[in-house]
A and B are shown apart, each in its own frame.
Chain A
């Protein structure tokens, strides 16, 4: 553009100049080209730097969530506390709440401290404070499952409390706990001693990936498992609805529909829908599926329906693009030998467009998997604290959460231990998204046809 505008003032080119010297004009043009390349490289470099910062931050803050501090203790399951009548009647044993298990745990910690010869001024209650509040529940669950073990001494691996876990991961310091009622310097001394003795150790925590969410008081027990299940249910709904509807709509629009103002309008509206903010779909889902159709809140079915609405335009647009990219000569060839329009589409056009359709679908699914806003509106942030088999989240209509919604929930909570888990959740979510996108790229490369 600039070159052309400069042309108006130029004089006819003089003949006889040397090719070995650059004219001022050429120099200027080359300099402009160099500058443009520099801008491009700078832009890419900026992008890469951002990406590196993002990845290092996520990995740096999130990897901690995959490790957890455990304390291994020998617990004597006292009959006097758990089954006073001694009849091993399961109903009687069930009457003992987790409070009833507290003395047993206190005793177990005190016994371990004594056995290891650790000197401490802490009372048994404070001693047990280094354990998670989940420990009593874990113990009770075990006893209810194995009532015959009452009276025996059994080895247990208890979660440490989130403060102790934070101390082991370097998140909690002796200076930072000055005003913390949940932990004291003496308890940290005890932790150091137990760690030195090998009773307390930090290991990989599968429960973070597969476990259920936990209440505010015990971040150490919270996991992604149930919300992962919720996301899985939703993706199932999205795939089952969006793929057939999207593909059918695109085939009709691209191959069969007459070109008139109505189809033009549909086309424009589909493109517009693709750009509609996802929260709008959320409020639409709330109004239609929940308030009008009275489907249950927090259900993966509703979440899946809302995400289907959101994903449909993406799938339709990419499917139409890949149908369009099949050369018309293929359709002509099929029609020319007497195939019907449908035969031409299903025998020839669709197989050639399939890789593109598949790619679009996977990308649409990945988009839906990472979507949070519409889920918040339809209440896909259910708090489910138990895992299979007694979990509530066992189907399309039962309450559940979703991975991004779970991350949002954790990030909202006060305890910094939850913050760490939010980052860990992001890592899991990103692994899913990267895997899906990679799969899309591989499929496209693998089945792409060139004419």
Chain B
């Protein structure tokens, strides 16, 4: 990681896609996220870093209400997507999740064919009128997932038969197939080898042109490589949020500095 080049990374200011205001998350009695305020920009990669258990994944899962599936999880505060509160009673989480796609830590393709994996989202949302349109969506998504060339000859093969890196790119293709506006990635490379990681990181950079990408990562190098903005979480608090170059070279908070220099973690 070359700190000097990071400083020179150009960052254009984009419009705010997601705004979180005073978000608190409770798991039963434990207070997992404390008063988090953060603004996530469109067409930007935002990285959440921090030690294990600091709440960054929890916060990420609040952004598309995946935490709804956990009974004891309570979310307080406002999370606005394009100015609309996603925790409003009128919001159907199903519609929200079509807008805010998610890629998980462990590649989790459905035990179905590669084609069906990608086609599932468009099918349930009725995005294709006929088979030809669906084929088109599948091809486009697989191309965006940078995996088309590797699988185009075996779309009927099971998705679970691919290698780990291919599976994760398939999952990304599946996530982009529903034309989301925001893509959440929860440690997408933690189960991948360095080569697959490099491929996925390259892909994330390409995705930036269309989506707002939020990525949770344990690897600070990865955060520095792929993101324009970085948020540092510690013990449920958002300690520092700013331009990636700023955070990694000239952090304001002593805790951030300790973490990125490896003294706490």
Contact = CB atoms under 8 A, between A and B. Distances in A.
A347 B95 CA distance: 18
A74 B210 CA distance: 96
Interface string A252-264: 0000001100000
A445 interface: no
Contacts of A258: 71
A332 B174 CA distance: 13
Given A329-B106, A332-B66, A337 B101 contact: yes
Contact of B124 (A331, A343, A449): A343
B178 A337 contact: yes
Interface residues of A, number: 21
A140 B110 CA distance: 68
A73 interface: no
Contact of A338 (B103, B108, B121): B121
Given A332-B66, A343-B124, A347-B120, A337 B174 contact: yes
B111 interface: yes
- 10 smallest CB-CB distances across A and B, nearest first, come from A338-B98, A329-B108, A337-B121, A336-B102, A338-B97, A333-B108, A340-B94, A259-B71, A338-B94, A339-B124
A143 interface: no
A334 B110 contact: yes
A336 B110 contact: no
A252 to B, nearest CB: 15
B250 to A, nearest CB: 36
Interface of B: 64, 66, 69, 71-72, 94-95, 97-98, 101-104, 106, 108-111, 120-121, 124-125, 160, 171, 174-175, 177-178
A339 B94 CA distance: 6
A332 B160 CA distance: 16
A336 B124 contact: no
A433 interface: no
A339 B95 CA distance: 9
Contacts of B109: 333
Main secondary structure of the interface of A (DSSP, over half): helix
A121 B64 CA distance: 100
Interface string A326-367: 010111111111111001000110001000000000000000
Contacts of A335: 66, 69, 97
Contacts of A348: 110
Contacts, number: 67
A336 B177 CA distance: 12
Interface of A: 258-259, 327, 329-340, 343, 347-348, 352, 449, 451
Given A335-B66, A336-B102, A337-B174, A330 B94 contact: no
Contacts of B71: 258-259
B171 A333 contact: yes
21 contacts: A329-B108, A332-B66, A332-B69, A332-B104, A332-B108, A333-B110, A334-B110, A335-B69, A335-B97, A336-B97, A337-B124, A337-B174, A337-B178, A338-B94, A338-B97, A338-B98, A338-B101, A338-B178, A348-B110, A352-B111, A451-B111
A338 B124 contact: yes
A327 B95 CA distance: 24
A347 B110 CA distance: 10
A312 B13 CA distance: 61
A338 B125 contact: yes
B121 A333 contact: no
B228 to A, nearest CB: 24
B66 A336 contact: yes
A340 B65 CA distance: 12
A211 B101 CA distance: 65
A328 to B, nearest CB: 9
A131 B103 CA distance: 81
A440 B121 CA distance: 34
Contacts of A451: 111, 160
